[in-house]
Chain A
Amino acid sequence: MDLTGFSENQLTVRDAISTICANFPNTYWQECDQQERDPKEFHAALAKDGWLGIALPEEHGGAGLGISEATMMMQTITQSGAGMAGAQSIHANVYATQPLAKFGNREQLTETIPNIINGKWRTCFGVTEPNTGLETLALQTRAELNEAKSHYSITGQKIWITCAQVARKMILLARTTPREEVSKPTQGLSMFCTDIDKSAPGLELKKIKKMGGRAVDANEVFFDKYEVPASTLIGRENEGFRMILHGMNAERCLLAGEALGLGYVALERAAEYANTRHVFGRAIGQNQAIAHPLADVYMKLEAAKLATYHAARLYDASKTDNSIPVHSVGVAANSAKYLAAEAAFTACERAVLTHGGMGYAMEYDVERWLRECLVPRIAPVSREMILNYVSEKVLGLPRSY
Chain B
Amino acid sequence: MASGLRILVPVKRVIDYAIKPRINKTQTGVETAGVKHSLNPFDELSVEEAVRLRERKGPLKVENILALSAGGPKCADTLRTAMAMGADRAFHIDVPDSNDGGLEPLTVAKTLRAVVEKENINLVLLGKQAIDGDQGQTGQMLAGLLGWPQATQASKVEIKDEAGTVEVTHEVDGGVETLKAKLPMIITTDLRLNEPRYASLPNIMKAKKKPLEKKTLADLGVEDKRRLKTLKVTEPPARQGGGKVEDVDGLISKLKELGAL
Chain A residues with CB under 8 Å of B204's CB are 12, 16, 63
Alpha-carbon distance A244/B5, docked complex (angstroms): 52
Is the Cβ of A19 less than 8 Å from the Cβ of B201?
A: no
The interface size of chain A toward B, counting residues with CB under 8 Å, comes to 14
Query: Taking the nearest CB of chain B, how far is it from the CB of A119, in angstroms?
Result: 12
Is the Cβ of A63 less than 8 Å from the Cβ of B199?
A: no
Q: Which of A19, A50, A53, A64 has the most chain B CB atoms closer than 10 A to its own CB?
A: A50
Alpha-carbon distance A19/B198, docked complex (angstroms): 8
Asked if A303 lies at the interface with its beta carbon under 8 angstroms from chain B, I say: no
Is the Cβ of B205 less than 8 Å from the Cβ of A16?
A: no
Is the Cβ of A53 less than 8 Å from the Cβ of B200?
A: no
Query: Taking the nearest CB of chain B, how far is it from the CB of A68, in angstroms?
Result: 15
Is the Cβ of B198 less than 8 Å from the Cβ of A53?
A: no
Alpha-carbon distance A18/B202, docked complex (angstroms): 17
Alpha-carbon distance A49/B200, docked complex (angstroms): 4
Asked if A51 lies at the interface with its beta carbon under 8 angstroms from chain B, I say: yes
Chain B residues with CB under 8 Å of A48's CB are 200
Asked if A20 lies at the interface with its beta carbon under 8 angstroms from chain B, I say: yes
Within 8 A of A (CB), among B91-133: none
Within 8 A of A (CB), among B164-216: 198-205
Within 8 A of B (CB), among A47-90: 48-51, 53-54, 61, 63-65
Is the Cβ of B201 less than 8 Å from the Cβ of A50?
A: yes
Query: Taking the nearest CB of chain B, how far is it from the CB of A368, in angstroms?
Result: 23
In-complex Cβ contact of B202 among A12, A19, A50 (8 A): A50
Query: Taking the nearest CB of chain A, how far is it from the CB of B47, in angstroms?
Result: 15
Alpha-carbon distance A19/B203, docked complex (angstroms): 15
Is the Cβ of B198 less than 8 Å from the Cβ of A51?
A: no
Alpha-carbon distance A49/B201, docked complex (angstroms): 6
Is the Cβ of B205 less than 8 Å from the Cβ of A49?
A: no
Q: Which of A20, A48, A63 has the most chain B CB atoms closer than 10 A to its own CB?
A: A63
Query: Taking the nearest CB of chain A, how far is it from the CB of B45, in angstroms?
Result: 16
B38 (CB) vs chain A CBs: closest residue:
A15
B197 (CB) vs chain A CBs: closest residue:
A49
B6-27 vs A, Cβ < 8 Å mask (1 yes, 0 no): 0000000000000000000000
Alpha-carbon distance A50/B206, docked complex (angstroms): 13
Query: Taking the nearest CB of chain A, how far is it from the CB of B86, in angstroms?
Result: 13
Alpha-carbon distance A65/B205, docked complex (angstroms): 9
A27-60 vs B, Cβ < 8 Å mask (1 yes, 0 no): 0000000000000000000001111011000000
Alpha-carbon distance A19/B199, docked complex (angstroms): 10
A46 (CB) vs chain B CBs: closest residue:
B201
Chain B residues with CB under 8 Å of A65's CB are 205
Alpha-carbon distance A387/B198, docked complex (angstroms): 43
Chain B residues with CB under 8 Å of A50's CB are 200-203
In-complex Cβ contact of A53 among B80, B199, B201, B203 (8 A): B201
A22 (CB) vs chain B CBs: closest residue:
B18
Alpha-carbon distance A19/B201, docked complex (angstroms): 13
Chain B residues with CB under 8 Å of A19's CB are 198
Alpha-carbon distance A63/B202, docked complex (angstroms): 6
Query: Taking the nearest CB of chain B, how far is it from the CB of A13, in angstroms?
Result: 8
Is the Cβ of B201 less than 8 Å from the Cβ of A54?
A: yes
Chain A residues with CB under 8 Å of B202's CB are 50, 53, 61, 63
Is the Cβ of A63 less than 8 Å from the Cβ of B201?
A: yes
Query: Taking the nearest CB of chain A, how far is it from the CB of B205, in angstroms?
Result: 5
B201 (CB) vs chain A CBs: closest residue:
A50
B200 (CB) vs chain A CBs: closest residue:
A49
Is the Cβ of B198 less than 8 Å from the Cβ of A63?
A: no
Query: Taking the nearest CB of chain B, how far is it from the CB of A1, in angstroms?
Result: 13
Alpha-carbon distance A65/B198, docked complex (angstroms): 19
B205 (CB) vs chain A CBs: closest residue:
A63
Query: Taking the nearest CB of chain A, how far is it from the CB of B73, in angstroms?
Result: 12
A61 (CB) vs chain B CBs: closest residue:
B202
Chain B residues with CB under 8 Å of A16's CB are 198-199, 201, 204
B207 (CB) vs chain A CBs: closest residue:
A12
A348-374 vs B, Cβ < 8 Å mask (1 yes, 0 no): 000000000000000000000000000
A203-229 vs B, Cβ < 8 Å mask (1 yes, 0 no): 000000000000000000000000000
Query: Taking the nearest CB of chain B, how far is it from the CB of A371, in angstroms?
Result: 29
Q: List 15 A-B contacts (CB under 8 A).
A: A12-B80, A20-B198, A48-B200, A49-B199, A49-B200, A49-B201, A50-B201, A50-B202, A50-B203, A51-B201, A61-B202, A63-B202, A63-B204, A63-B205, A65-B205
Not counting A49-B198, A49-B199, a sample of 4 additional A-B residue pairs whose C-beta atoms are within 8 angstroms of each other reads A50-B201, A53-B202, A54-B201, A65-B205
Q: Ordered nearest first, which 9 A-B pairs have the shortest CB separation?
A: A50-B201, A49-B200, A50-B200, A50-B202, A63-B201, A63-B205, A51-B201, A49-B198, A19-B198
**A positions within 8 Å CB-CB of B:** 12, 16, 19-20, 48-51, 53-54, 61, 63-65
